[in-house]
Chains A and B, each alone.
Chain A
Amino acid sequence: MKKLLNDPLKAASELVDGLVDYYNGSVEQVSPGAIALTNISDDKVALLVGGGTGHEPIYHGLIGEGMADGAACGDIFAAPPPNVILDATKAVNRGNGVLYLYGNYSGDVMNFKIASQLAAAEGIRVETVLIWDDVASAPPTEKEKRRGIAGLIPIVKLAGAAADRAENLDELVELVTNARDNTRSVGMALAPGSIPATGKPTFELDEDSIGVGMGIHGEQGVGVEKMMSADELAIKMVDLVLADDLPIGEGDEVLVFTNSLGSTTMMECLIVLKKVKALLVEKGVNIYDVLLGPMVTCQEMAGISLSLTKMNDTLKPLWDAPCSSLGYTKLGK
């Protein structure tokens, strides 16, 4: 695998430096691995995201206007340590508390949990909403065992708008929980990405196979099936998401997001989107808005995921608000 690196062991710190350069003055590194917006207003309830690097543009590429205020970045595919999370927490806190919003992976949960205790010891109020949108990772009765995958894009966007409007941390938790609980995703893996430091694949999958419901690091999903067409795959993804416990049917409005896991092209995402939309319209579901492209990735992993967010009167104005970030930018409606 040809990859543009200098020292593979410094990939995480170099990409964070590059991210600060991308933001060109609106983001600063507040300690190694911790980044924050430079213009957070004084009365704001703060939104902090974070996780391992190597999945760009998430999570650290989601800070910006109308998005997250800061991010704690770990090493490649590894959770950030508690002190980095604490530094990021202090940088974004404006005295109204901080919401931690991140994917439900054991390393992240442990490190953010320790950080929230350290923050509490310094008098900073922290609340947490875990992202667990992957329907293939556990049954609906055990949501706390589900992984966070591409649904985090609409969830963080909605949370960013909510953080601009919320009067206090409790209100923000309520709004973000609404966004999280109305979002469901499923992923399909075609080929693994590689670990930058070693060049080795992140998991193994036969050339003619497809990992149905497989996670972004190769975590087990529903099973492995023979390679299929874009339409067949779209049918499978829509069926899996609609079979979950969130009722989506006639007259409902949804955000539709076809995410590339890295090397799957926009052409493929568009071909899948076409079928997904047709299937939803056939069921009387209205499309509120569409997102598409590589936003939750694992290096050059091939694969695609579908996320649906069911809209309601609370979420619509949050979605309609403009936002800008490396990972997702939206003009106002």
Chain B
Amino acid sequence: MSAPTLDPTDVKQMLLKVADVIIESEEMLSQADRDLGDGDHGLGMQRGFTAAKAQLEGLDPKTVAEVFTTTGMALMASMGGASGAVMGMLFQSGGAALGANDSLDADGLCAFLQGACDGVTNLGGAKPGDKTMVDALAGARDKAEDIDCETVSEALQAACDGATEGMEATKAMIATMGRAKTLGEKSIGHPDPGALSVSIIFKTMSDYANQ
């Protein structure tokens, strides 16, 4: 399938797939966080997406926004810490930018990404270059906007590529935010775990829409 648009049920299935992949990635994400933080990022993400999955499974969505905001609320309430706040805000404020639309198209995805970037940066104050998940998220937004996509599948592929590039770029950066900043130059060479999570989220969404 290379879908021009996704309806609310498709978006729900797509986020259930994201939940499964994040849950399976626990060990990889925890290892990435052991290199830079206290090693609990994978467990937090696993807890968050297990809660999100339970909420999504019982949801009969009328709008695409509902699917994203339900995911965001579940992440925020179950994860805690800085990552719960920013991951939850990504989906909540991204979803809030979609209004009452009953399908997600390429423009909708761009609106979601812009809303998500605004929500996360207003909350935490991180900018691209600070070695945080914002590098992957802003990368996804920029790439999806730059390429004039006709279908949501193309836009998700662009978001996936942009998020991956943004995540890769964090390897060369020195952490200036959060717990990793205590490492200073020792943080060079490792990707930011939050950026890694964001790149996995958009890769899974793109794989779903382009399968």
**Residues on A facing B (Cβ under 8 Å):** 9, 52, 74-75, 77-84, 106-107, 110-111, 113-114, 195, 197-198, 200, 202-203, 215, 217-220
> In this assembly, does B3 line the interface, its C-beta being within 8 Å of a C-beta of chain A?
no
Apart from A84-B80, A110-B89, A219-B179, 6 more pairs, CB < 8 Å:
A9-B43, A78-B81, A81-B78, A81-B84, A81-B85, A111-B84
Give the distance in Å from the alpha carbon of A228 to the alpha carbon of B124 in the complex: 39
> In this assembly, does B165 line the interface, its C-beta being within 8 Å of a C-beta of chain A?
no
Query: Which residues on A sit within 8 Å (CB–CB) of B40?
Result: 75, 78, 195, 197
Q: With CB as the reference atom, state the residue of chain B lying closest to A86.
A: B77
Q: With CB as the reference atom, state the residue of chain A lying closest to B79.
A: A81
Mask of B74-98 contacts with A, CB within 8 angstroms, 1/0: 0011111111111001000000000
**Nearest-Cβ distance from residue A100 to partner chain B, whole angstroms:** 15
Interface centre among B44, B123, B184 (most CB of A within 10 A): B123
Q: With CB as the reference atom, state the residue of chain B lying closest to A108.
A: B82
**Nearest-Cβ distance from residue B107 to partner chain A, whole angstroms:** 28
Query: Which residues on B sit within 8 Å (CB–CB) of A9?
Result: 43
> In this assembly, does B39 line the interface, its C-beta being within 8 Å of a C-beta of chain A?
yes
B39 touches A110 (CB 8 A): no
Query: Which residues on B sit within 8 Å (CB–CB) of A114?
Result: 76, 85, 89, 123
Interface centre among A77, A107, A203 (most CB of B within 10 A): A107
Interface residues of B in 44-103 (CB under 8 A from A): 44, 76-86, 89
A74 touches B181 (CB 8 A): no
The number of chain B residues with a CB under 8 A from chain A is 26
> In this assembly, does B147 line the interface, its C-beta being within 8 Å of a C-beta of chain A?
no
Query: Which residues on A sit within 8 Å (CB–CB) of B184?
Result: 220
Query: Which residues on B sit within 8 Å (CB–CB) of A218?
Result: 182
Mask of B151-174 contacts with A, CB within 8 angstroms, 1/0: 000000000000000000000000
Q: With CB as the reference atom, state the residue of chain A lying closest to B179.
A: A217
Give the distance in Å from the alpha carbon of A279 to the alpha carbon of B34 in the complex: 42
B81 touches A107 (CB 8 A): yes
Query: Which residues on A sit within 8 Å (CB–CB) of B83?
Result: 107
Give the distance in Å from the alpha carbon of A110 to the alpha carbon of B132 in the complex: 15
Selected from B38, B80, B179, the residue in CB contact (under 8 A) with A81 is: B80
Give the distance in Å from the alpha carbon of A202 to the alpha carbon of B77 in the complex: 25
**Nearest-Cβ distance from residue A145 to partner chain B, whole angstroms:** 11
